[in-house]
Amino acid sequence: MPAIPALLRPRPLVLTLCSALLASAVAAPPALADPTPQAKSWKVSGPPGSPTAVVALDPTDGRPTLAVRRGDRTVLEPSPVGLVTERADFTKELTFTGRSDRKVAGSYTSTTGKSERRTVDMTESRFRFRTAAGARVDLVTRVARDGVAYRYVLPRDEGDVLSEASAFTLPTGTDAVIGKYRPDNELLFSRYASATQPTTGTYMMQALFNTPGGQALIAESDVNGSYSGAHLTHEEGSPTYKVALWNDEPVQVPDGSALTTPWRAVITGDLATVTESTFVDDLAPPSRVRDTSWIKPGPALWTWLAGGKEAGQSLEAQKKYVDYAAERGWPYEVVDAGWYYKPGEWDVIDPDWQTNNWMPELVRYAAAKGVKIQVWLHYTLLTDPAEREKWLSTLERWGVKGVKIDFMDSESQERMRWYDDVLEATARHHLMVNFHGSTIPKGLQRTWPQVMTFEGVGGEEKRTNTAEHLAALPFTRNVIGSMDFTPGAFHRPYRPNVNSDAGELGLTVLYESGIQNLAGTPESYDARPEARRYLEQLPARWEHTRLLTGDPGRSAVLARQAPDGRWFIGGTFAGAAQTVDVPMRLGSGRWLVETVTDGPSGLVRAPHVVRGGDTLAVPVIADGGFAAVACRWWQGRTSCDS
């Protein structure tokens, strides 16, 4: 997988209050040459520059397939589609009965993510099929500039879903960046020279393939309690990755109910297109939260890796962390496990936690210093509706602004129903959410904008992370939504870039999270004044994201634009020390770029004046990285914070 620099293209962003309310508006597309019901293959084309989806029926056994192409190049070979229910097999012996097309277009805003303003421009085609016995299924496809997606729509009374035939067959010459599957989605990503190489087993959905037709990232969107989450299965030597449902359990469909499944998606294009894509969110239902004015992203001082369990049970320790967050200008402090347990015990809830607790005092103390409090909860506290209401209403009354909910460790249909209930309740109580031990975003941040981030990643807490894993995440897990990696733990001896403080600093920008939980100790920040200075400048959200250069599993450099117009840049690299040529695709004119790199005696900040489009040479140490901030230059300007 050779290094591929990002090719940045201007993207029109037109947003008004009216257009934001029309995010799912549809209009009839120009008339398409539709084949007769006897035809065996049909193309779906999107806006200019889009890939093409090809839906087909095998003429011998009526098996449906879907392929993806870019021009004359193959992204996906004809891949199985279909599903099996209790009452019908929709994977073979199907007959095509019709097709309809429409445009899906509009715009919306996002409280988190790579950009605030989003545009949607897709072509949707609905293919209608029936079995010999008369059972019906619709295959709905969507094609956009950055992807292809499909889902199934079943009429009433087809029974539970037993399995899907859905799969992705890669062309010869494809390599892969992929990770094994576990219910918490926290295993490592690795790079393979061939997509057939990974051993037989289960893999995470966010798998990246470099095909002859371009990059292809597998994903899903619009998963809720009507379905379970999915992962991939693969047999060594095979070019096909199959979609598997949770524990192969049937998806329960209430008697007499219709069913619309989640989207199966392929984000595709060059590396920049995939990395910058919002396709997973674009496919998701619009926001269910009408008033989002209370939802405020921003950096947080997270005290777990800094202070552990003891800090979680100490009001005085938490006040000191609040003081430090206030000094840095960070808007949040996160109190982790321990605060509602009996003093000195770590698995026993204090029965008087509502009345005999120091949290209200901490919230008042923090508020006086301009800092808001978020708290950790074990998900089992929120399973019973009455208990859930007691916990969330009490936290809202105290003035807590967010909850970090942990240890779900399942993507079953039952657990997805739990997510539905908790998302509705936290929105009603104006509590922002950080899910840990969790599923991955799957479009939920568009539908429920109070969700600031998900873990679902092998993050800073892990002791087994590799430099390869760090350089894979911007192209895999973080593409599909916010990722709570919890960077900034300079004091941790287990991080793969332990010798590169500049690399650790760069992760705070390279990895997007609505709440960027900074995991270091105050002492570690004070010992690194250049890192502390940089972290004090982190904005609450991003306006735009651009890939400057990268090679999945080996290197990644991203630039993210703050609301004030400055660009923050983070880079990570696996391998030997090197000098990296970074294209400064930030816009025309002159820019002052302040780089923070590793020096013999610590972090070194250096100014550079470059023109937009120039290449900047940046030194990085082995398995290291760098951070930078860029601002408009004028004569005499020497710093981006002046």
For the annotated catalytic residues, the residue numbers are 406, 461
CA 230/CA 348 separation, integer angstroms: 34
Tokens 């400048």 identify what position? 537
Do residues 488 and 459 touch, judged by C-beta distance below 8 A?
Answer: no
3-state secondary structure of 325: helix
Side chain identity at 414, as an amino acid letter? Answer: E
Do residues 163 and 173 touch, judged by C-beta distance below 8 A?
Answer: no
Side chain identity at 400, as an amino acid letter? Answer: V
Do residues 136 and 42 touch, judged by C-beta distance below 8 A?
Answer: no
Beta bridge partners of 263: 221
Tokens of 385: 């509706």
CA 333/CA 328 separation, integer angstroms: 11
Do residues 508 and 538 touch, judged by C-beta distance below 8 A?
Answer: yes
Do residues 504 and 596 touch, judged by C-beta distance below 8 A?
Answer: no
Determine the distance from the C-alpha atom of residue 317 to the mean position of all C-alpha atoms in its chain, rounded to a whole number.
33
Beta bridge partners of 375: 335, 403
Q: Tell the burial category of 194 from Cβ atoms under 10 Å away from its Cβ (0-12, 13-18, 19+).
A: middle
Q: Are strands 263-269 and 147-154 parallel, antiparallel or unpaired?
A: antiparallel
Tokens of 230: 């999915």
Do residues 74 and 67 touch, judged by C-beta distance below 8 A?
Answer: yes
- Cα 338 to Cα 343, 347, 359, 375, 392: the distances in Å are 8, 9, 11, 10, 17
Q: Tell the burial category of 636 from Cβ atoms under 10 Å away from its Cβ (0-12, 13-18, 19+).
A: exposed
CA 488/CA 299 separation, integer angstroms: 11
Do residues 161 and 83 touch, judged by C-beta distance below 8 A?
Answer: yes
Torsion of CA 102, 103, 107, 108, to 10 degrees: 30
Write the DSSP symbol of residue 576.
Answer: S
Query: What HEC string does 472-498 produce?
Result: HHHHCHHHCCCECCCCCCCCCCCCCCC
